[in-house]
Structures are given as structure tokens and as C-alpha cells.
Homo-oligomer: A and B are copies of this chain.
Amino acid sequence: MNFAFTEEQEMVRDFVERFVREKYEPDMRRKIQAGEQGFSSEHWAMFAELGWLGLMFPEDDGGFGGGAIEAMVLFEAFGRGPVIEPYLATVILAGGILRRAASAAQKETFVPRIIEGKSQMALAFTEPNARYNLANVSTMATPANDGYAINGNKAVVLNGPAADTLVVSARTKGEQQDPDGITLFLVDAGSAGINRQNFPTQDGFRASEILFDNVLVDGGAIIGELHGGHPVLQATIDDAILATSAEAVGAMEMLNKATLEFTKTRKQFGVPIGKFQVLQHRMAEMFMEYEQTKSLLYRATMAVAAGEADASRTISALKVQVGRAGRKIGQEAIQIHGGMGMTEEMYVGNYFKRLTMINSLFGNADHHLRRFATTT
């Protein structure tokens, strides 16, 4: 057992941290976020150039063979931005499905385009009434013309607006909540019958509600096994939880730092408010929650990296902690900043909003507490 990063991991970390420190000052991010696209193509090209987009793919597929630990390093730094380029959607979610289950031919077509920054992708897996149940899929893929016709409604598809390619979960057999019978498809986002309704998210990303109205794909569009999409989806969502949890840890760090800084300079009743014992104890608690979250992040990440059998359970534990600590730290940061914290101008609101949304992604704290409690 050891807690040290490798030299390569440290190099990546230093790089990403510098990028965030230097490129992600508030004004620049605001401008990017307000733009039509919602992220910076320049940054994206730079991600490609620096090899970050290939970090998570195996060397055989042209990547750098990174794993859970590399993702953690990357996303913890992203969380400090918070970075709004759609790395999660393209590389972790859609890319994760490809990495796990795509055929050699599919990989050859799609992975290099991701790595080179030429393709934006999205994973369309949630549905209006499915809430956090990954097996709850009513979108149907029925045989048609040597391929399949997809019909249904996918909800809050992250990076939907920019995606040129979608990975879609659809039911090929079984009842609505049956884990068995879900198949993953590669779908060109420009296909006939796709209707995207685009909107911004609360934390500055972009997403789409996507209607599939008899969208035709050929047999080669299937990723992995027919009916066998659920475990691939599950593993990929676990990766996404790890990544967003690392991001959350980065965001918590920034919130604690900003709050601490604020209380050292903001004076009330003649003294810096950091001198008030009540705020001191509350910030001590914020610090503890951050450290505890970081510990679980390490634990879950190392468990995944080592392929431990109960890694999924540890990931649920992490998601619970991220949800609860994120809520506490976020709310306290705003409260301690007072009126200032409520203004869009102060930057703390962005971390608070991102933390809030991370809780609601991929199953909130309640959902994962139940998953944790009922698995062993």
C-alpha cells in the first residue's frame, strides 16, 4: 500500500494545475460560458495537443494508458477552475463506453478523432422518468432494414449541443427496468429523426433533451454485446462518479480557500470576521469535510485502479460523501461570505453551483446511500 504519485502522474498534475491557475481566471471563464458554444475551442485544441484527451485511452488505441488515478489528478485540477470544457462528456462518458466495449473498427474510427480533438461526443443514457436508475430504459431499438430503428426520449444529455456523435442506450429486449436487454449504439448526431432541444445547465455547461423519432442505424452501430450494455454503462458511470468527485474535491478546496481568505480580510464589528469563534469552528468543520472527502476519493480511486471487487460500493460511499460535504461546504461558503457570496460577481457561487449539480448527476447522495447500504 502506498500513497505516492508516479513521476508521470505528478507531471500531469503540475501541468493541469498550471493551466487552471493561468487560464481560468473568472473573467475569461465568464466569457467562454456566455458564448454560444459554452466552451473554448482553443482550450480544447490545447487539451489535444498536450495529450490530455488521449490520457484515458489505452496505448494500443493511440492513448497514454491512463487509469483512475490519472483521471483523478486531472479532474481535481479541473474542479479548481471549474473547467467547463466537456471532457467528462466526451472522454469519460462516451469515450469510456468506446474504450470498454467498442470493436476494433469502431475504435479506429472514433477514438483518434477524440484524441485529436476533432470530435465532440455525448452519452445519452438518462430518460425523463428513469431518475437515477441506469437500467430504467424505455427508448426502444427495434430491428429495421438490416439495422435498428431507435425511438424514445433521452434527458439532460451533457454536451448534447456540441456532440457530433452520440452513444445511446436503448432497449432491445425485456421490460422497462430490466438490466438485461439494454444495448449501446453509436449514432451520428446529424441523423434524420434526431431532434435536439439545447439548453444551458445551472453550472454553465450545455445539455440537450434529445428525441429519437425512428432514427435508423445499421448493425455496425452496436457497441459491444447486443443486450449487454448495462454493465458497460454501469462501469462507465462509476468512472464518471470518480471524475466528478475529484472535481468536487478541487471545488471544495477552492471554496474553503476563498472563504478563509475572505474571513481574514473582511472586517465586521472592528475585527476580521475570521476572529469569530463560531466561524472558526465552522471553517474547521469545512476543512474536515474536505479532508474526509479527499480520503474517500483516494480510497475509491485506488480501489478501482487495483480492480478491487467492492470498488463500486466504495464509489457509492464517495458519492454520498461528495453530496453531503459538497452541500455543507457550499452552503457554508455562501453563508459566511454573506451578501457578497450571493452575487454572481464573487466567484464562490460557481463552485457552489457545480457542487450542487455534481450531487444531482449520476445519482444523488440518497440514491448512493441506498446502493451502499444494500450491497456488501
Contacts and interface: CB of A to CB of B under 8 A. Distances in A.
A280 B277 CA distance: 10
Contacts of A280: 278
6 contacts: A276-B277, A277-B277, A277-B278, A278-B278, A278-B280, A278-B281
A276 B276 CA distance: 9
A284 to B, nearest CB: 10
A278 B281 CA distance: 8
A217 B280 CA distance: 67
A255 to B, nearest CB: 22
A280 B278 CA distance: 9
A285 to B, nearest CB: 11
Interface in A273-291: 276-278, 280-281
A278 B277 CA distance: 6
Secondary structure call for the A interface:
helix
A278 B283 CA distance: 12
A35 B262 CA distance: 60
Contacts of A276: 277
Interface size class of A (residues with CB under 8 A): under 10
Contacts of A277: 276-278
Q: Which 4 residue pairs are nearest across A and B when measured between Cβ atoms?
A: A277-B277, A277-B278, A278-B281, A278-B278
Nearest to A279: B277
A281 B276 CA distance: 12
A119 to B, nearest CB: 48
A369 to B, nearest CB: 15
A358 to B, nearest CB: 28
A273 to B, nearest CB: 11
Interface in A171-210: none
A275 to B, nearest CB: 10
A374 to B, nearest CB: 18
Interface in A250-278: 276-278
Contacts of A278: 277-278, 280-281
A325 to B, nearest CB: 21
A97 B330 CA distance: 52
A350 to B, nearest CB: 29
A361 B173 CA distance: 51
A276 to B, nearest CB: 6
A53 to B, nearest CB: 48
A276 B281 CA distance: 12
Interface string A52-79: 0000000000000000000000000000
Contacts of A281: 278
A366 to B, nearest CB: 14
A263 to B, nearest CB: 14
Interface in A304-340: none
A281 B278 CA distance: 8
A277 to B, nearest CB: 5
A271 to B, nearest CB: 12
